[in-house]
Structure formats: C-alpha cells, structure tokens
C-alpha cells in the first residue's frame, strides 16, 4: 500500500518539476507551507500543469479582515459561544470558561433548560458574565438569530465551540433504529454543525480580531467502526472531515485569523455515553476510559485558551484522550485491575 | 478543483487494498464476459448446456414465487419451461435442430478440445523442464510426477470452483437503484438491464421515472434485437419498473422497498446511488437549503435506504447486497469547495465500516462502489473551464464506468467489499497518457466534445459485440494459466526443496 502511495506522490512531484514556472498565486503557498503541507502542495502543483490558473474562481470572502491596520490581537477575557451547552460536556466547558474569567454565551434547543442553566451558572460563578438564548442548530434562522444575539450582547465572539450533538440516546443496530432517531442524529450532528460553522465563519470574517471555531468530534471520527451507533459515528466522521475541508478552504482564501479546530473530549460520562452502557464491553471501556465532564473540561479549557493567547493561527486537534493515555489506562486495568467498577458495576 | 481530483486518486489506492485478491478478480472478469454477449466462437465450456438448464430452473423457481403478483411472469414461466425442454432436447439431439446448431456445437467442442490440449501442453513443458532439472534421478522423477498430478488437481479444483460458482449464481438479479433517472444511476440501470436483470429505478420526480422507464425499455428492445439468440434468452427476463421516491423521506423509502418486493419478489442488489452536490464554492456561499439538501440526500438518504434494504433482505430467503456510492472525500482527504458533499461521503465510509460489523452474522452484505469521476451533472454543474481541462484526464463517461462496475456488482460475495473504477493501473494510465487525453471531453473553451447520450448508446451497442471477443480471449488464457501457474509453483517448490535436501548431506 505504502508503495502505491509514494508512487503516486512521486509521480505528482515529477509533474511538478515539469510544469511551467509556478504561477504567482501558488508561490506564497509554497513559501508558507513547510514540510507538513509539502505533500499537499506537491499534489496541487501536479495538477497545476493542466490547471495553471487555479486562483480566479476561488472568490475571496466579501469582507477580508486581513486588511492592514484593522486586525486586533485577541486578549482575555474572551467571548465564548458554546452550542448545546445546558448539560454534559458543553455545560462543564461553560462553567470552566466562566471560572477562567471569560464571557460565555450558552444555548440549547429548549428555552427552559437554557434558563435553568443560566441561573445555576450565575449563582455558582457569581458575576454576570453569562448569557443564554434558545437556539436549534438545525434551523438556519435560529443560528442567524444566535449570531445577532451574540453581536448585540457581546459585540464579538472569539471562540465558538460547536458542541451540540445527539445520539438520540439510543444504542441499537441500524436495522432497528427508528426514522426519527436517525434523522435527528444526522441533522443535529452534521447539518447543524455545518450551518453553525458557516455562520460562525461569516461572523468572524467580519470581526477585526478574527476567531477560533472548535468542532467537537466523537466516536468514529477516526474512521473506526461504531457498531450499535452507526449513524452517530458516520456524522462524527463527517465532522472531522468538514473541519479539514474548511481549513483547506480558508487556506485557499488566504484567511489567517479565522481558524477551525477539532476538539476531542474523549469519553465523557454524560447521558449520551451512559445510555449505551448495556453491554459488557461497553461497561469495560466506560470504566477504563471515561472521565466526568468536569475533569475533561478542566483539561480542555486551558488548552483552548492558550491558542488565542499565543496568537497562533495554526489549526489544531486538541485531544483529551490521546492514544498513549488510552493504552496506558487499558494496560493498568488489565495488569492491576485499576478502575474496575468505577462508574458501572461489571459482572 | 485540482484538490478535488486528488481525492479521487488517493482514496482509490486505499480502496484497492480492500478489493478481492487478484485471482478472484480474474474470476469476476471472466464471468462478466461469459455473461455479456457470447459470440458463437467464444463458448468454451462443455458445461454450457447444463448451465442453461440451471438457469432456467432458477427462473422457474423465481417465476413460481411471483405467481400471484403478475400474469406476465406466469406467461414467461411457461416460456421458460419450453426453453428448458428445448435446451435439454438440443443437448441430446443436437442434430435434430439445424445445421447451424450442429456447427455451433462442433465449434464449441473443438474449442474446448483445443483448450485442454494447450493446457496439457503447457503443463507438459513444465514437466519436461522438471525432468531435465532432476537429471534422471528416479526418486526425483517420482516427485515431479506427483507434483504434476497435484497441480492438475488443484487447477481443476480452482477452475471447477469458478465454473460452479458461476452456474449456481447465474440468473437474473433483482436490482434497486436510487437516483437512477440521470447520470451514473441510469447508466447502471441500463447495464443491469442489458445483463438480463430486473431493475427498479427510483427518483424524486415521477415524470422522469416514467421517461427513464420508457427509454430503458427501448434500449432493452434494441439490445434484444441486436443480440445473438443465446443472449436473447438471457434478456427474456429483463424488465424495468420504477416509482418515485425521495430518499430523505422514510415513508417514501419504505414504499420503494415494498414496491420492489411486490414487483420482483426479492431484492438481490440495492444501490444507494442518489447523491447531490450544489456546485463548487466555499461553504460560506451555500444556503441553508443547499446544505440541507446535500446532507439529507447523501447521508440521511443513504442511511434510511440502507436500513430499509437490510429489513427486506434479512426477511427474504436469498442473500442480498447493499452498495453505497463513494465520492470525493470518502478516503478522508479534505475537499475544499465541496466541503458539505465531501464530509457526507466521508461519513458514509465510516457508516460502511460500522454496518460491516453489525451485519457480520446476517446474510446482508454491505459494500461500497466507487465510480471515480464521472461526466454527470453532479460533477459538471458549476465547474469552470479549468476544471474541465482536468476532467479530460481522469473523467469517464457514465456508461464506461457502469460497464466496469455492474459485472463486479452482480457477482459480489460476502460483505465489506469495495468495487472501484479508478484502480491504480487506471490512474497510472490516465497520468501517463495525460497529454493525449487533453482534448478528450472538452476543448480549450470548455465546450463538450463528447456525443449526446443517444448517440453514445448507438456506438455503444456496436462496440459491445466487438469488445466481448477480446475479453473472451483474455478470459480463456487466464483460465488456462490458473492451472498452469499452480502446477509450476508446486513443481518449483518440490524441485527446490528436493535439491537442497540432496545437496545438504553431500556437502
């Protein structure tokens, strides 16, 4: 397999060397991209033999914030928007951002849940730094209203976290899944996320400070199979892919101050996960790998905040549960029996 | 656009890894040919007659099952019995019928005879080489004889396996194709139809379904008219029906499944071909409706259709196969300017792997089919001149792709297979001949140079018969070399092991 890949890429390189002098538009890409984009640019050049003018049809966004003099550095406190943030990991993230002194806008499908979450957050964190509104991410108008609400109350958003996701709280083979569940999963996770990304990008391109968008991944986003929640896995895989494509689009448009990232909370002991804990295998992995939402948020929030702080504009993939950690936890469990019956009683 | 093309190429490499082993692929090609149009001189098996009777039996069973549904099938049932009798008669008293029949049979026998002679001669050559190498050692000669016998047995087993497989699985398939009134879907439907299958087409608009049915029926008539007598028999069962179905609507999908079961009795192959893309532009310029349509057609539609097909197939007697169509982004590389489309297709690939796990114990097979880049509305809508220049190199007409995919889809076995058009050899060929291919489909100004669909089909019908001859020749040699190859491997292994075994004590 590896051989075929290299063969293809070397072919592309070959094409590249034979191509007429790279058009001006490509030069900045070459100079700005170092090793990790080299393969990609090589491919690009490979096709630029037949496609010398790649540029003209990529329209620049109407308002480009990279114009000189306009851009501002991002300074704390940050304005944070988190979708689907009345419970679970979204709520924990909101709380953690508030503790760090940021302004947070929460939203969810149900106005009641938003209201109660607002109240608890206000009592817990004391000061008035939190806003909230009802927003169904699947509805384009709702998301537009959310943006309007954010602009009215917070003027700008630095960090937009697309957290709203659903598994319809059902874990069964696809053949047994109901219509409503399947449609809800796909529309919330994929359609909702796409609409949110689009609106967030639109908003941030108009902001002098730019912005960062974080898309939360989930089981299946690495392409591994997710039996019993196939639809969820497919949507999460598409999330990661969307992030990738958007990064490529922004690079094409030479936008540097709006960045799309991935955020991986790993396994979090929220309702979404726990509703599937009915097999032996699932219980084992939940006990070994899952963490409560607060723990995860405590790790993720400083990592998220460090990105605007350092002024970095490189896309990142922040992972709470990386491979090494996962394997070491599985190892300690198998070797020493650590974390047995941590959340759920295994038989 | 350059990047979009890239995605088609790199994933294709990945797919290739998951395709069947080369050996079985050869088998596939082979059966595809025998199944296509068989010119009189390419009949190469003595089994042809038994094979016919098998087929008719299968049809008879199929007919019996459908008895209640349509009168038409009952009629064809009678015809089939007649055919069956005819086939048996012609087998026994082949001289009774006509001189033509006799000639046919003789040439068939001669062909087979020639084939066995060639096979035996090639094994004989290897045998002689073996004797030369052994240097007259009696013990070694025995070994070579054994290996020769072993090779013959293995070769026969492989060959008979392929033949049996083909015979037992011959007969018309019942195929459902969504989004099949345009582009690749229509080409697939036509190709299945001309392979003698029963096809259900579906699309959102009822009018276009009706139009497509009419068109495909005409194609079928032409196919019957131009085909040889043996092919006509094969095409007797082919039929096309259709209904309107919006794949995003669960009720519509259920209706489609019920419709297919009522019309055909069972479903062997279900192809989720419906897919949409709303032009090439950044996500910012997509409207809510655009995004919603793409997501619901590509992702929701495929999920709902897959589930419905699984329902039907797990309740039926025969095994079934579901195909999801790959597209740009399936391999996981980014798809700027088609971000929405790409990410839905990427999600589908993951879905495929989950379904593969879920359906491991059932008789439903889930597969992917990758058509590569096809010159259809989906690709051409909103593409620029630059894009079209690039399409010249890697794109293909839908009919070309369908011709490659359909035979492989018809004989697919198991689950989790990937059937790809753009395999590494094809990509390599495209890149090497890029210069020649410059003005293949579009000229400098982006005007289409290729013929309209109707003209294309006319040329197609002509080339069908021509093609099958070359294919048949290929198949023939492949069949021979399978046994020769296995024999020579055994020979070489035994010779090598015995020489080293003898040399060791001497030194």
Place A166 in a pLDDT band, splitting at 50, 70 and 90: confident
State the nearest Cα–Cα gap between B267 and chain A, in angstroms.
Answer: 16
State the nearest Cα–Cα gap between B70 and chain A, in angstroms.
Answer: 30
B341 is catalytic: yes
* CA atoms of A110 and A100, how far apart (whole Å): 26
Given CA atoms A286, A179, B357, B367 in this order, what sign does their dihedral have?
Answer: negative
Nearest to B255 by CA among B208, B308, B317: B308
* CA atoms of B254 and B304, how far apart (whole Å): 9
What is the per-residue DSSP string for B414-460? SSS-EEESS-HHHHHHHHHTTTTTTTSSB-TT--B-SPPHHHHHHHH
CB-based contact A51:B389 (threshold 8 Å) = yes
The alpha-helical segments, DSSP class H, found in B181-249 are: 183-194, 206-226, 229-235
DSSP run (H or E) holding B143 = helix B138-168
pLDDT in tens, B189-219: 998 998 889 999 999 999 999 999 999 998 8
The stretches in chain B having pLDDT less than 50 are 1-74, 94-95, 465-478, 501-507
Q: Which residue of A has its CA nearest to B435?
A: A50
Q: Can you give the pLDDT at residue A8?
A: 36
Nearest to B9 among A8, A226, A229 (CB): A8
Does B334 lie at the interface with A, CB-CB under 8 angstroms? yes
Does A242 lie at the interface with B, CB-CB under 8 angstroms? yes
State the nearest Cα–Cα gap between B71 and chain A, in angstroms.
Answer: 34
The gap from C-alpha A208 to its chain's centroid, in whole angstroms, comes to 22
Q: Which residue of A has its CA nearest to B346?
A: A238
CB-based contact B282:A58 (threshold 8 Å) = yes
- pLDDT of A307 > 60? The answer is yes
Does A179 lie at the interface with B, CB-CB under 8 angstroms? yes
A63-72, A127-136, A291-300, B273-282, range with the lowest pLDDT: A63-72
Does B288 lie at the interface with A, CB-CB under 8 angstroms? yes
Q: Can you give the pLDDT at residue A33?
A: 36
| Six-digit token string for B115 | 């084939």
Does B347 lie at the interface with A, CB-CB under 8 angstroms? yes
Nearest to A48 among B2, B292, B334 (CB): B2
Does A162 lie at the interface with B, CB-CB under 8 angstroms? no
Q: What is the mean pLDDT of residues A141-154?
A: 94
* CA atoms of B256 and B202, how far apart (whole Å): 8
Nearest to B390 among A51, A140, A231 (CB): A51
Cross-chain residue pair A242–B349, CB shorter than 8 Å: no
pLDDT in tens, A263-272: 999 889 888 8
Q: Strands across the sheet with A159-162, in order?
A: A130-134, A103-108, A79-82, A159-162, A211-216, A258-264, A317-319
CB-based contact A290:A276 (threshold 8 Å) = no
Q: Can you give the pLDDT at residue B71?
A: 46
Does B431 lie at the interface with A, CB-CB under 8 angstroms? yes
Other beta carbons within 10 Å of B310: 24
Q: What pairs with residue A214 in β-bridges?
A: A161, A261
Q: What is the mean pLDDT of residues A334-344?
A: 87
Cross-chain residue pair B334–A198, CB shorter than 8 Å: no
Q: Can you give the pLDDT at residue B78?
A: 56
- pLDDT of A261 > 50? The answer is yes
Does A174 lie at the interface with B, CB-CB under 8 angstroms? yes
Q: Which long-range contacts (CB under 8 A, 24 or more apart) does A285-288 make?
A: A286/A343, A286/A344, A287/A333, A287/A339, A287/A340, A287/A341, A287/A342, A287/A343, A287/A344, A287/A346, A288/A329, A288/A330, A288/A333, A288/A339, A288/A342
Cross-chain residue pair B350–A226, CB shorter than 8 Å: yes
Q: Can you give the pLDDT at residue B81?
A: 59
Does A287 lie at the interface with B, CB-CB under 8 angstroms? no
- Given the residues A232, A299, A317, A343, the one annotated as active site: A232
Optimal mutation site among B13, B336, B441, interface A, most CBs of chain A within 10 A: B336
Strand pairing category for B320-325 and B364-370 = parallel
Optimal mutation site among A18, A166, A242, interface B, most CBs of chain B within 10 A: A242
Distance (Å) of CA B314 to CA A109, A129, A173, B62, B171? 37, 55, 13, 18, 21
ipTM, two decimals: 0.79
- Given the residues B116, B146, B341, B421, the one annotated as active site: B341
3-state secondary structure of A103: strand
Which residues 141-160 of chain A have a CB within 8 Å of chain B? 141
Indicate the average pLDDT of chain B: 73
- Length of chain A, in residues: 347
State the nearest Cα–Cα gap between A199 and chain B, in angstroms.
Answer: 8
Read off the DSSP letter of residue B375.
-
Place A1 in a pLDDT band, splitting at 50, 70 and 90: very low
Read off the DSSP letter of residue A25.
G
Task: Give the CA angle between residues B443, B449, B450 to the nearest 5°.
Answer: 145
Which residues 72-131 of chain A have a CB within 8 Å of chain B? none
* CA atoms of B411 and B29, how far apart (whole Å): 10
Nearest to A174 among B282, B307, B348 (CB): B307
Nearest to A195 among B288, B428, B431 (CB): B288
Nearest to A85 by CA among A116, A57, A55: A116
Instruction: Select the more confidently predicted residue: A343 or B393.
Output: A343
CB-based contact A316:A261 (threshold 8 Å) = yes
Q: Can you give the pLDDT at residue A193?
A: 95
Q: Can you give the pLDDT at residue B186?
A: 92
Does B436 lie at the interface with A, CB-CB under 8 angstroms? no
Which residues 152-181 of chain B have a CB within 8 Å of chain A? none
Residues of chain B with C-beta less than 8 angstroms from the C-beta of A246: 283, 336, 339
State the nearest Cα–Cα gap between B384 and chain A, in angstroms.
Answer: 8
Distance (Å) of CA B152 to CA B31, B121, B138, B290? 22, 12, 21, 61
Does B350 lie at the interface with A, CB-CB under 8 angstroms? yes
Q: Strands across the sheet with B174-178, in order?
A: B239-244, B198-203, B174-178, B269-272, B320-325, B364-370, B418-420
């Amino acid at each position: 397999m590896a051989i075929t890949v290299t063969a293809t890429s070397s072919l592309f390189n070959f094409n590249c060397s034979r191509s007429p002098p790279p058009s001006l538009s490509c030069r900045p890409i070459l100079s700005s991209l170092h090793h990790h984009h080299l393969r990609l640019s090589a491919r690009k050049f490979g096709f630029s033999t037949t496609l010398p003018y790649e540029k003209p049809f990529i329209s620049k966004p109407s308002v480009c914030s990279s114009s000189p003099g306009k851009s501002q550095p991002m300074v704390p406190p940050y304005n944070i928007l988190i979708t689907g943030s009345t419970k679970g990991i979204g709520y924990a993230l909101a709380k953690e951002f508030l503790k760090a002194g940021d302004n947070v806008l929460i939203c969810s499908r149900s106005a009641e849940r938003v209201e109660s979450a607002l109240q608890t957050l206000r009592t817990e964190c004391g000061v008035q730094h939190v806003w909230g509104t009802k927003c169904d991410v699947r509805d384009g108008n709702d998301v537009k209203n959310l943006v309007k609400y954010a602009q009215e109350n917070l003027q700008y958003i630095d960090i937009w976290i697309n957290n709203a996701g659903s598994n319809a709280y059902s874990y069964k083979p696809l053949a047994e899944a109901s219509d409503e569940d399947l449609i809800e999963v796909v529309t919330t996770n994929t359609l909702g996320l796409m609409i949110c990304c689009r609106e967030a990008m639109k908003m941030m391109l108009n902001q002098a400070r730019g912005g960062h968008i974080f898309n939360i991944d989930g089981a299946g986003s690495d392409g591994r199979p997710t039996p019993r929640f196939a639809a969820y896995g497919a949507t999460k895989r598409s999330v990661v892919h969307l992030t990738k494509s958007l990064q490529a689009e922004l690079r094409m448009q030479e936008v540097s101050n709006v960045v799309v990232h991935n955020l991986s909370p790993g396994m979090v002991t929220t309702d979404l996960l726990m509703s599937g804990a009915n097999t032996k295998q699932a219980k084992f992995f939940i006990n070994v790998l899952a963490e409560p939402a607060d723990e995860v948020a405590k790790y993720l929030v400083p990592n998220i905040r460090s990105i605007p702080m350092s002024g970095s504009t490189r896309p990142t993939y922040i992972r709470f549960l990386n491979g090494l950690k996962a394997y070491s936890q599985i190892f300690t469990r198998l070797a020493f029996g650590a974390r047995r019956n941590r959340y759920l009683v295994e038989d | 656009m350059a990047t979009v093309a890239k995605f088609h190429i790199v994933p294709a490499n990945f797919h290739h890894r998951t395709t069947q082993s080369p050996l079985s692929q050869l088998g596939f090609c082979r059966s595809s040919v025998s199944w296509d149009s068989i010119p009189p001189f390419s009949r190469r098996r003595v089994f042809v007659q038994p094979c016919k009777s098998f087929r008719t039996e299968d049809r008879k069973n199929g007919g019996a099952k459908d008895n209640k549904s349509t009168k038409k099938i009952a009629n064809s049932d009678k015809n089939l019995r007649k055919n069956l009798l005819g086939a048996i008669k012609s087998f026994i008293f082949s001289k009774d019928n006509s001189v033509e029949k006799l000639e046919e049979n003789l040439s068939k026998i001669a062909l087979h005879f020639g084939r066995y002679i060639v096979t035996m001669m090639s094994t004989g050559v290897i045998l002689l080489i073996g004797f030369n190498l052994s240097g007259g050692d009696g013990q070694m000669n025995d070994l070579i004889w054994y290996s020769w016998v072993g090779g013959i047995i293995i070769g026969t087993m492989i060959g008979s396996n392929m033949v049996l497989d083909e015979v037992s699985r011959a007969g018309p398939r019942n195929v459902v194709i969504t989004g099949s009134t345009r582009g690749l879907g229509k080409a697939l439907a036509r190709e299945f139809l001309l392979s003698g299958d029963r096809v259900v087409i579906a699309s959102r608009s009822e009018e276009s379904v009706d139009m497509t049915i009419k068109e495909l029926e005409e194609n079928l008539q032409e196919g019957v008219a131009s085909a040889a007598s043996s092919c006509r028999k094969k095409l007797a069962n082919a039929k096309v029906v259709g209904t309107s179905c919006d794949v995003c609507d669960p009720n519509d999908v259920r209706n489609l499944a019920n419709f297919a079961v009522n019309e055909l009795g069972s479903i062997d192959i279900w192809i989720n071909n419906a897919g949409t893309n709303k032009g090439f532009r950044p996500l910012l310029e997509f409207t809510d409706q655009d995004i919603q349509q793409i997501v619901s057609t590509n992702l929701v539609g495929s999920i709902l259709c897959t589930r419905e097909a699984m329902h039907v197939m797990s309740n039926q007697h025969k095994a079934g196969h579901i195909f999801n169509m790959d597209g740009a982004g399936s391999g996981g590389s980014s798809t700027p300017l088609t971000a929405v489309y790409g990410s839905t297709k990427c999600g589908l690939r993951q879905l495929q792997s989950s379904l593969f796990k879920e359906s491991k114990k059932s008789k439903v097979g889930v597969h992917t089919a990758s058509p590569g880049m096809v010159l259809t509305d989906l690709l051409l809508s909103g593409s620029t001149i630059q894009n079209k220049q690039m399409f010249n190199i890697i794109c293909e007409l839908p009919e070309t792709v369908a011709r490659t995919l359909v035979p492989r889809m018809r004989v697919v076995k198991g689950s989790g297979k990937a059937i790809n058009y753009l395999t590494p050899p094809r990509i390599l060929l495209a890149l090497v001949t890029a210069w020649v291919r410059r003005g293949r489909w579009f000229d400098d100004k982006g005007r289409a140079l290729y013929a309209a669909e109707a003209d294309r089909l006319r040329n197609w019908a002509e080339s069908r018969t021509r093609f099958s001859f070359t294919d048949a020749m290929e198949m023939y040699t492949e069949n021979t070399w399978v046994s020769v190859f296995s024999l020579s491997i055994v020979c070489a292994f035994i010779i090598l092991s015995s020489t080293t075994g003898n040399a060791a004590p001497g030194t």
